[in-house]
Structure 1
């Protein structure tokens, strides 16, 4: 309903409208109290097969069970709606067995998702005859024994895993991993140093073989060229003939005197 429809004050009534023909609701049972309650067991809706798990919270109508009590204690009935199909589901307290009884709208399930032992369809309150059937009792005992054996195997597996973990020295393993990591880091550093040293040796040899030539001063070269422009260069020869040296006797005689 929109806001304009809610605020509309003029309603249409047909000509044959008779308010006396409108059915009036009647309250059944005692006064009901809305209470936030968790589901006490796993259940499955009969209308839509929706699974409702134990511990799920619902706003339920609580009422007192009229005409019944247990050792002077009151019994209560709870009404809830299926979250998917909105069908009515009800269950009540069972103080004699310290449990709850399902009454309408769903069927009780055990922890494995199957119908539990002694579960009734919630339209049938009286006990069924097949509960006393020995074959049915044998099947239930077999299922129970299989369930216990499975739980025992799982427990043994958990205990074995825990015992294996207790024998492992976690601190020693961590220390060994740290030492191994440090050793790998040192080897990696040593390898990198050797590789760098190996690359640096050929480069040094190359530098020594090819020394750098001094840069040519072009300005000075041009000045020298202009200075000696008018001179003719003669190539010097090494084979020059000079007369042999001779000493005259006059010089000798003078010396002797």
Structure 2
């Protein structure tokens, strides 16, 4: 069974998402396949996180992190122009909008033609005033919310938080791949001085920035690492790098 999703075609039997314009295809992981299948089966309806985790109950349930990562990866596959198809309903779950979007775009079109010009001008003025007020009175120094946070359990019983940051929720496949490699390296430590690790890619995806925070000898410690990689495919973190750079602390 194949279904259209934005500019992609979902082949459920083969577990693939195919980008039609570039003829690229991705083999979906178990989590991505389970999440996308449930969203399509309930298209236009809210699907709870619990349902996305448990699926049909025949396999082991997914974790919250696996569901979040699957949603982010699927949005990345769909591309920036279609990432809004999967809507986050805060605290409840996710909703897959109809891919053509004709229903809600048609409603907006009708409303535009029935609103008098003076009403539109007043509305524009109110929005402009609110924007000016927001820019002047809002504290923009607050840190950006992480795209994804994972809790890593080390052999010593210590837990390390890995936070991944990105400018957009789309096209972050490389960032998630680097997060998996960094997670594996930290877990292999068994014991670490770090409590929090922050990672982000530059806009051109050529520089991986990492910040490590923790305590050592009752002193707060901080370490910043930047890796440049201009090759294709990009490696950034590999076994040789992990041996050379002691990320355990």
Q: TM-score range by the shorter chain?
A: under 0.3
TM-score when normalising by structure 2:
0.22
1 or 2, which has the higher strand percentage?
2
Instruction: Return the index of the structure with the highest Cα Rg.
Output: 1
Structure-1-length-normalised TM-score? 0.22
Specify which structure has the bigger relative contact order, considering alpha-carbon pairs within 8 angstroms and separated by 6 or more residues.
2
